[in-house]
């Protein structure tokens, strides 16, 4: 029979780090408000949330890596906004910030969640930060809560599996201690 593991959204006792890009703050402040609202609604104490402002989306991955590696937070949420302009700068920042957060997430022991909005216009970005299309900051916080729980489920299942392995007792070798 297959075992099904699903995360929960209980934030009780969790410590959450949030990295927020300051560039396009009219959008990123709304994303942060959405994330904080989600965490509060799901039992994360305000004192257990730490917010790290960085210049923009480019700086988010490196900061997220430092937070994740520190072991001080149960999850790291990455928020930012990259809006297309007249130059190819958008392509570089959007692509590299996404790759950077993904790399940090794959190499981290704690969930690292991507909540960087990329949009063609300011209006589109504002819509995705709570105006019309939900709030991607809220969504990122929900993902963080769920993934903390999923990681715990994985750890528990692995520990249980390890305990059930037959023949794992250590035996002394007949020659041990004899010279």
Residue 67 lies in a domain: yes
Domain range for 103 is: 16-154
The residue assigned the tokens 């528990």 is: 156
Residue 2 lies in a domain: no
The two structure tokens encoding residue 177: 């201690």
Pairing of strands 75-83, 112-119: parallel
Identified catalytic residue from 42, 89, 171, 173: 89
105-146: per-residue pLDDT in tens?
A: 999 999 999 999 999 999 999 999 998 879 999 999 999 999
Does pLDDT of 165 surpass 90? Answer: no
Does pLDDT of 179 surpass 90? Answer: no
The residue assigned the tokens 């999850």 is: 75
pLDDT category of residue 171 using cuts at 50, 70 and 90: very low
Q: What is the mean pLDDT of residues 60-79?
A: 98
pLDDT category of residue 85 using cuts at 50, 70 and 90: confident
18-67: per-residue pLDDT in tens?
A: 999 999 999 999 999 999 999 999 999 999 999 999 999 999 999 999 99
Residue 177 lies in a domain: no
Does pLDDT of 80 surpass 80? Answer: yes
Helix (H, G, I), strand (E, B) or coil at 162: helix
Q: How far is CA 157 from the centre of its chain?
A: 21
pLDDT at residue 160 in the model: 78
The number of folded domains in the chain is 1
Residue 123 lies in a domain: yes
Residue 148 lies in a domain: yes
Per DSSP, what are the bridge partners of residue 119? 83
| CATH code: domain of residue 98 | 3.40.50.960
Does 173 participate in catalysis according to the annotation? Answer: no
Residue 169 lies in a domain: no
């Amino acid at each position: 029979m297959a075992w099904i593991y699903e995360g929960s959204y209980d934030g009780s006792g969790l410590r959450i780090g949030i990295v927020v890009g300051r560039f396009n703050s009219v959008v990123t402040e709304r994303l942060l408000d959405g994330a904080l609202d989600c965490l509060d609604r799901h039992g994360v104490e305000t004192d257990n949330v730490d917010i790290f402002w960085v210049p923009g989306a480019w700086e988010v991955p490196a900061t997220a890596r430092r937070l994740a590696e520190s072991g001080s937070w149960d999850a790291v949420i990455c928020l930012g906004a990259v809006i297309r302009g007249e130059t190819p700068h958008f392509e570089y920042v959007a692509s590299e910030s996404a790759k950077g957060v993904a790399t940090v997430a794959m190499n981290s022991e704690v969930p690292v969640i991507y909540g960087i909005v990329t949009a063609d216009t300011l209006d589109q970005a504002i819509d995705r930060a709570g105006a019309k299309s939900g709030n991607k900051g809220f969504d990122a916080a929900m993902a963080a809560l769920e993934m903390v729980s999923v990681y715990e489920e994985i750890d528990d299942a692995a520990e249980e599996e390890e305990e059930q392995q037959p023949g794992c007792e250590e035996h002394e070798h007949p020659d041990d201690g004899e010279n």
